[in-house]
């Protein structure tokens, strides 16, 4: 995948990795649709994209609103015709124990992180196939590969993405659809600040581990490198990615570590 001269739709683009990936791609003179529920943040992202000589199309979008997703997709397909890449970063995390988390919170997280991503994909995929192919990228997490305390629904929503998009890839490789699942570790973004607690309120602070992670700009370079190579899974982060290998090759150590984590 080369970015120059192509059209991309990037969700969660008002801040964090979504914004940074949009800016990184904008260096290649592309047309970029950016969406998020934060209108002000989108406008700031658009300014940076245009400074780099790329076109920015702003779409305010709530990924928990299925009707809005369908309307936005229909409008964009009508206006731009062909979308070469759909890269989804929008999502919400949590900071609460299973026993104290109401089912409404679990459903909210699944609605945004899984069903919203699936809905937008379903809206765009037929057009991609008709136009000869395209690239899909969805954002999982380290905890999309293993369970983690205080992240039950978040972890489940990310696990679900792996199964869904691996299935989608198996069905559509013949249609020239390429799929990359992004697996970030600790990245300096606002996801922990906006994570919801057991009462559905924002966590309000960046986790210490996350604060010591790599910047969103560095993450964007790793992501774009993986997207260019059309890697099936793109690992993003630093030394915390070792947890993937611990879980795979030393599962007993993973279980020992997981049960001894301190409360948030």
pLDDT digits (tens, 9 = 90+) for 226-250: 999 999 999 999 999 999 999 999 9
Q: Active-site residue among 87, 150, 154, 254?
A: 154
**% of the chain at pLDDT higher than 70:** 99
What per-residue confidence (pLDDT) applies to 261? 76
Mean pLDDT of the chain: 96
Ranges assigned E (strand) in the chain: 7-11, 31-36, 55-60, 85-88, 134-139, 177-184, 187-188, 214-215, 233-236
Distance CA(35)–CA(13), nearest Å, equals 6
pLDDT-derived band at 140 (thresholds 50, 70, 90) equals very high
Produce one character per residue of 38-49: b if its CB has 16 or more CB atoms within 10 Å, e if not.
eeebbeebbeeb
Instruction: Identify the burial level of 181 via C-beta atoms within 10 angstroms of its C-beta, where 0-12 means exposed, 13-18 middle and 19 or more buried.
Output: buried
Nearest to 117 by CA among 200, 48, 18, 190: 18
Distance CA(40)–CA(76), nearest Å, equals 20
Distance CA(181)–CA(12), nearest Å, equals 16
Instruction: Give the strand pairing for 31-36 and 7-11.
Output: parallel
What per-residue confidence (pLDDT) applies to 86? 98
What per-residue confidence (pLDDT) applies to 209? 83
CA 242 to chain centre: 21
Residue 165 gets the label, from left (phi > 0), alpha (psi -120 to 50) or beta, of: alpha
Domains contained in the chain, CATH given: 7-239 (3.40.50.720)
Distance CA(185)–CA(243), nearest Å, equals 9
Residue 154 designated active-site? yes
pLDDT digits (tens, 9 = 90+) for 59-115: 999 999 999 999 999 999 999 999 999 999 999 999 999 999 999 999 999 999 999
Distance CA(8)–CA(134), nearest Å, equals 10
Backbone angles phi, psi at 162, to 5 degrees: -60, -50
CB atoms near residue 10 (< 10 Å) = 26
Cα 240 to Cα 111, 178, 216, 247, 248, distances in angstroms: 28, 27, 16, 12, 14
Question: pTM for this structure?
Answer: 0.96
């Amino acid at each position: 995948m080369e970015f120059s001269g192509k059209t991309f739709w990037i969700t969660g683009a008002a801040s964090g990795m979504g914004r940074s990936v949009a800016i990184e791609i904008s260096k290649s003179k592309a047309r970029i649709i950016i969406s998020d529920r934060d209108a002000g943040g989108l406008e700031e992202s658009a300014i940076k994209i245009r400074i780099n000589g790329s076109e920015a199309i702003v779409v305010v979008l709530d990924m928990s609103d299925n009707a809005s997703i369908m309307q936005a997709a229909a409008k964009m397909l009508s206006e731009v015709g062909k979308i070469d890449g759909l890269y989804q970063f929008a999502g919400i995390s949590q900071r609460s124990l299973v026993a104290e988390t109401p089912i409404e919170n679990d459903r909210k997280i699944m609605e945004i992180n899984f069903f919203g991503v699936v809905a937008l994909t379903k809206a765009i995929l037929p057009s991609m196939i008709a136009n000869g192919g395209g690239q899909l990228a969805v954002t999982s997490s380290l905890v999309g590969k293993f369970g983690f305390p205080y992240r039950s629904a978040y972890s489940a929503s990310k696990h679900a993405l792996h199964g869904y998009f691996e299935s989608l890839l198996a069905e559509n490789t013949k249609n020239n659809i390429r799929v990359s699942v992004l697996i970030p570790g600790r990245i300096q973004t606002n996801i922990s600040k906006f994570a919801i607690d057991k009462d559905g309120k924002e966590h309000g602070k960046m986790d210490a581990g996350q604060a010591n992670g790599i910047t969103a700009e560095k993450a964007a370079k790793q992501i774009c490198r993986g997207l260019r190579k059309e890697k099936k899974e793109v690992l993003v982060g630093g030394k915390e990615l070792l947890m993937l290998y611990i879980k795979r090759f030393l599962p007993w150590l993973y279980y020992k570590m997981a049960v001894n984590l301190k409360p948030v």
